[in-house]
């Protein structure tokens, strides 16, 4: 016999998922801010947060405020990564190990080069260099978000940009094969094209909560 979920439990699960997504997008938030974003009471949000804390999916630090008690700033734990797309991590890792065994490191590197070449062609069709840089970056971010990277473009006042990926669906595979991350940076440079300096700052694989690329156009008139 199949038991239907009640509207209350479905609503609670929806709120819980929304909390997790907001924390993923914003790094850390307090319960009041979360409640305002979701249109629910702060008490309801706190209950969800404490339940998520029991599951080791969130934790908090206290932040001093000018008035009143310190605020609890909630953030996701590494354990929460399992709630987001992982790019079939176990299968990917198994395939990488099998490719190493079958073709050796040199053969694996050739396969990764083919993957990078195909990625470049695909992204160039979706985010062509003929677009103004901001539009090109946004088109690239939209494509990557569709693949689970939760990408965002931030325009800085000095004419530079930050390209941010808040989730890495190939992270577990990249731990096994570090060239995957190396190729990601090279792919990004090839897609965006000449006349732009790209530097990776924060890096999920090194323990940061997101990957951040600093983008400086050599000609700000682009």
Q: Is the pLDDT reported for residue 106 higher than 70?
A: yes
* CATH code assigned to 89-217: 3.30.1380
- Is residue 98 left, alpha or beta, with left meaning phi > 0 and alpha meaning psi from -120 to 50? alpha
- Residue where the block lists tokens 């732009």: 196
CA 102 to chain centre: 32
- Residue where the block lists tokens 């490191």: 105
Structure tokens at 144: 């990557």
In the chain, ranges of CATH 1.10.10.10 domains: 7-83
Which one of 2.10.60.10, 1.10.10.10, 3.30.2140.20, 1.10.3720.10 gives the CATH number of domain 7-83? 1.10.10.10
Q: Is the pLDDT reported for residue 221 higher than 50?
A: no
Q: What digits encode the pLDDT tens for the residues 39-62?
A: 999 999 999 999 999 998 999 999
Q: How confident is the model over 205-219, as a mean pLDDT?
A: 89
Q: Can you give the pLDDT at residue 83? A: 82
| Strand, helix or coil for residue 189 | helix
Residue 213 CA to residue 163 CA, distance in Å, equals 5
Q: Can you give the pLDDT at residue 188? A: 95
Q: How confident is the model over 143-170, as a mean pLDDT?
A: 93
Residue 27 CA to residue 88 CA, distance in Å, equals 24
Q: What digits encode the pLDDT tens for the residues 116-151?
A: 999 999 999 999 999 999 999 999 999 999 898 999
Q: Quick one: pLDDT band at residue 8, thresholds 50, 70, 90?
A: low
**Cβ neighbour number for residue 60 with a 10 Å cutoff:** 15
DSSP string for residues in 54-98 = HTTSEEEEEE--SSSSPEEEEEE-GGGGGGS--SSHHHHHHHHHH
pTM of the model: 0.70
More confident residue, 114 or 97: 114
Nearest CA-CA partner of 168 in 219, 204, 134, 217: 204
% residues pLDDT > 70 (the chain): 91
Residue 158 CA to residue 35 CA, distance in Å, equals 34
């Amino acid at each position: 016999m199949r038991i239907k979920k009640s509207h209350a439990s479905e609503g609670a699960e929806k709120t819980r998922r929304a909390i997790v997504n907001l924390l993923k997008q914003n790094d850390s938030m307090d319960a009041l801010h979360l409640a305002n974003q979701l249109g629910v009471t702060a008490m309801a949000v706190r209950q969800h947060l404490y339940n998520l804390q029991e599951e080791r999916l969130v934790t908090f630090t206290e932040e001093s405020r000018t008035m009143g008690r310190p605020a609890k700033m909630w953030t996701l734990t590494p354990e929460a990564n399992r709630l987001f797309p992982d790019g079939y991590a176990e299968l990917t890792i198994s395939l990488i190990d099998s490719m190493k065994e079958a073709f050796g490191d040199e053969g694996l590197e050739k396969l990764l080069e083919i993957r990078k070449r195909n990625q470049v062609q695909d992204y160039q069709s979706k985010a062509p260099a003929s677009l103004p840089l901001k539009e090109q970056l946004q088109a690239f971010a939209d494509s990557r978000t569709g693949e689970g990277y939760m990408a965002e473009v931030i325009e800085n006042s000095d004419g530079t940009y930050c390209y941010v990926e808040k989730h890495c669906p190939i992270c577990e595979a990249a731990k096994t094969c570090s060239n995957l991350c190396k190729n990601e940076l090279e792919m990004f440079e090839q897609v965006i094209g000449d006349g732009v300096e790209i530097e990776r700052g924060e890096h999920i694989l090194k323990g940061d909560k997101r990957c951040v690329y600093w983008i400086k156009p050599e000609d700000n008139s682009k």
